[in-house]
Chains A and B, each alone.
Chain A
Amino acid sequence: MMAMNAMALCLLFSLLIPLAGAGLALINAGLGRSRSAAHAMLASLSVIAVAALVYFVCGFAWQGSLGLPAHTLTVAGKTWNWLAAEPFFLRGLALDGSPASLAVWLGMLSAGLAALIPLGSGADRWRLGASCASAALLAGFTYPLFAHWVWGGGWLAQLGANNGLGKGFLDAGGSGSIQAVGGLTALCIAWILGPRRGKYAPDGTPSAIPGHNAVLVLFGCLAALLGWLGLNCAGSILYYGAEPGRMVLVAVNTTLGASAAALASAAITRTRFGKPDASLCANGWVGGLAAGSAGCAFVVPAVAVLVGAVTGILVVLAVEWIELHLAVDDPGGAVAVHAVGGIWGVIAVGLFAGGSGQFVAQLAGLATLLGFVLPLTYGLNRALDHFSRQRVAAEGERRGMDLFELGAGAYPEFMTHTEDFTQR
């Protein structure tokens, strides 16, 4: 049972989490085009709102919390917990500061955060209504199912007790449950939407479409750090019973991971291109936060630095590889940052925070992300696209999402560049 001061601390830390959402929203808006900036920010607000409401309606009913009723299956003498058995609309649940009520609050914020991630890959061409519908699917089905298996006492968490695989799948701050789930959704969205008009020449060569505001992006990184500090601390306390004193380690690891990643990204971009690239450094920073979340409460600071540095290099290479070789147009780098970063964070816990059993448990979690979350997400979003096309009409892309979907631009006093409106 959690102590009262631990619960109060968890609640306080969780109040910082919306800043992670604000950071991601600013990063996504800044890395997109100026003619879609207001749309990007409104889409961020909208998907958070949709995710919160859908999570209230049915998300928590699937996710549940440790100690709450769940559907179980007994195989070969072992009991496996596969789905929570909570009523819809949080009926009968007292929101009184108990661990279950804190799990509702943290789950609601986490679902919103995961739903924000695909906006990065769908920037400049994803309809507002479609992004909200996709967020509803994520917050109502994909996220709660995986989160139950990891944080609600589900079968991935039970791998330790049932199979002796370390402590079961570990993911304190959500490298897998939030970042990788969001990142894989971003990949599905990028596949379904296709690249922006003019991104690839007929011979397949990609053209650079730089973000419109580096200041927004870099300020978003600082806001994201605050949010991630809250997320990692609250998750460590609530899901793994970390004592309050351990929050210093979590905060130090979170900051060191992001710092090492950003500097590694700066070093590698400087080496390759002659100058550090601001947007790739920002991607590295957020990648470091995403990767460091899983092990923030379980590794020593030196390991956090190592994991962060590897993330910084991985993210830069992945951004380029995804654009050039996978032909995936991901303006916000969401796939490289959140999917690649998150998956590396999950693996890193297995490498540095336990024996071989722990490594196998982390691999089982990774296999679930690729073999369950990815197909389910793709199937749901493909079905959504079948009923209502997710991509905006060509005219909307030409005029910009702001004017086409909202009727007004984010920067009405800006001069309009003619070439922006010329069909490529």
Chain B
Amino acid sequence: MELAGFLLLVAGWAIVLASAVLLKTLPLETLFVLAGLATELVGLVLVIRTHLVVREARG
């Protein structure tokens, strides 16, 4: 789960990077940057959740 979270973080960044390099119009670029950030948010939640679960398991 932790690895999936970090992969989502990197994937979100890749979306932002691709939008900066390939897109030309501001609305489209904004949309892709927001989509990248949303992906990162999901990844961050997953990473945080993983650490909570691990800590709970250790008691």
Bound complex: CA of A195 vs CA of B52, how far in Å? 12
Which B residues from 7 to 59 make CB contacts under 8 A with A? 9-14, 16, 20-24, 26, 29-30, 33-34, 36-37, 40, 43-44, 48, 51-52, 55-56, 59
Asked if A364 contacts B33 (CB within 8 A), the reply is yes
Asked if B13 contacts A371 (CB within 8 A), the reply is yes
Q: Does A98 contact B (CB under 8 A)?
A: no
Bound complex: CA of A357 vs CA of B22, how far in Å? 16
Bound complex: CA of A209 vs CA of B35, how far in Å? 40
B13 surroundings in chain A (CB, below 8 A): 367-368, 370-372
Known contacts A191-B51, A327-B55; decide if A360 and B6 are in contact (CB<8 Å): no
Q: How large is the interface on B (under 10, 10 to 19, 20 to 34, 35 or more residues)?
A: 20 to 34
A326 surroundings in chain B (CB, below 8 A): 48, 51-52
B10 CB to closest chain A CB (Å) equals 5
Which A residues from 242 to 292 make CB contacts under 8 A with B? none
Bound complex: CA of A326 vs CA of B44, how far in Å? 12
Known contacts A164-B26, A191-B51, A371-B13; decide if A363 and B56 are in contact (CB<8 Å): no
Asked if A360 contacts B33 (CB within 8 A), the reply is yes
Known contacts A367-B12, A370-B9, A371-B14; decide if A75 and B30 are in contact (CB<8 Å): no
Report which of A194, A363, A375 forms a contact with B10, defined as CB distance below 8 A. Answer: A375
Q: Does A165 contact B (CB under 8 A)?
A: yes
Q: CB-CB contacts of A355-367 with B at 8 A, as 1s and 0s?
A: 0110010011011
B23 CB to closest chain A CB (Å) equals 8
B12 CB to closest chain A CB (Å) equals 5
B12 surroundings in chain A (CB, below 8 A): 367, 370-371
Q: Does A71 contact B (CB under 8 A)?
A: no
In the complex formed, the residue of B with least CB distance to A204 is: B56
B6 surroundings in chain A (CB, below 8 A): 375, 378-379
Q: Does A57 contact B (CB under 8 A)?
A: no
Report which of B11, B16, B24, B44 forms a contact with A368, defined as CB distance below 8 A. Answer: B16
Asked if B55 contacts A363 (CB within 8 A), the reply is no
Asked if A356 contacts B16 (CB within 8 A), the reply is no
B53 CB to closest chain A CB (Å) equals 10
B36 surroundings in chain A (CB, below 8 A): 367, 371
B33 surroundings in chain A (CB, below 8 A): 360, 363-364, 367
Asked if B55 contacts A194 (CB within 8 A), the reply is yes
B15 CB to closest chain A CB (Å) equals 8
A194 CB to closest chain B CB (Å) equals 7
B20 surroundings in chain A (CB, below 8 A): 155, 159, 162-163, 364
Known contacts A364-B33, A366-B37; decide if A372 and B10 are in contact (CB<8 Å): yes
B26 surroundings in chain A (CB, below 8 A): 164-165, 356-357, 360
B46 CB to closest chain A CB (Å) equals 12
B59 surroundings in chain A (CB, below 8 A): 202
Asked if B21 contacts A374 (CB within 8 A), the reply is no
Q: CB-CB contacts of A73-103 with B at 8 A, as 1s and 0s?
A: 0011010100000000000000000000000
B22 surroundings in chain A (CB, below 8 A): 75-76
Which A residues from 148 to 177 make CB contacts under 8 A with B? 155, 159, 162-165
B52 surroundings in chain A (CB, below 8 A): 326-327
Bound complex: CA of A367 vs CA of B16, how far in Å? 7
Bound complex: CA of A279 vs CA of B48, how far in Å? 26
A371 surroundings in chain B (CB, below 8 A): 9-14, 16, 36, 40, 43
B37 surroundings in chain A (CB, below 8 A): 363, 366-367, 370
Asked if B9 contacts A363 (CB within 8 A), the reply is no
In the complex formed, the residue of B with least CB distance to A357 is: B26
Asked if A163 contacts B29 (CB within 8 A), the reply is yes
B29 surroundings in chain A (CB, below 8 A): 163, 165, 360
Q: CB-CB contacts of A180-217 with B at 8 A, as 1s and 0s?
A: 00000000000100110000101010000000000000
B21 surroundings in chain A (CB, below 8 A): 75-76, 78, 80
A202 surroundings in chain B (CB, below 8 A): 59
Asked if A327 contacts B51 (CB within 8 A), the reply is yes
B34 CB to closest chain A CB (Å) equals 7
Bound complex: CA of A375 vs CA of B43, how far in Å? 10
| Contact surface of A with B, Cβ cutoff 8 Å | 75-76, 78, 80, 155, 159, 162-165, 191, 194-195, 200, 202, 204, 326-328, 356-357, 360, 363-364, 366-368, 370-372, 374-375, 378-379
A–B pairs, 11, beta carbons within 8 Å: A76-B22, A191-B51, A326-B48, A327-B52, A360-B30, A367-B12, A367-B33, A370-B9, A371-B14, A372-B13, A375-B9
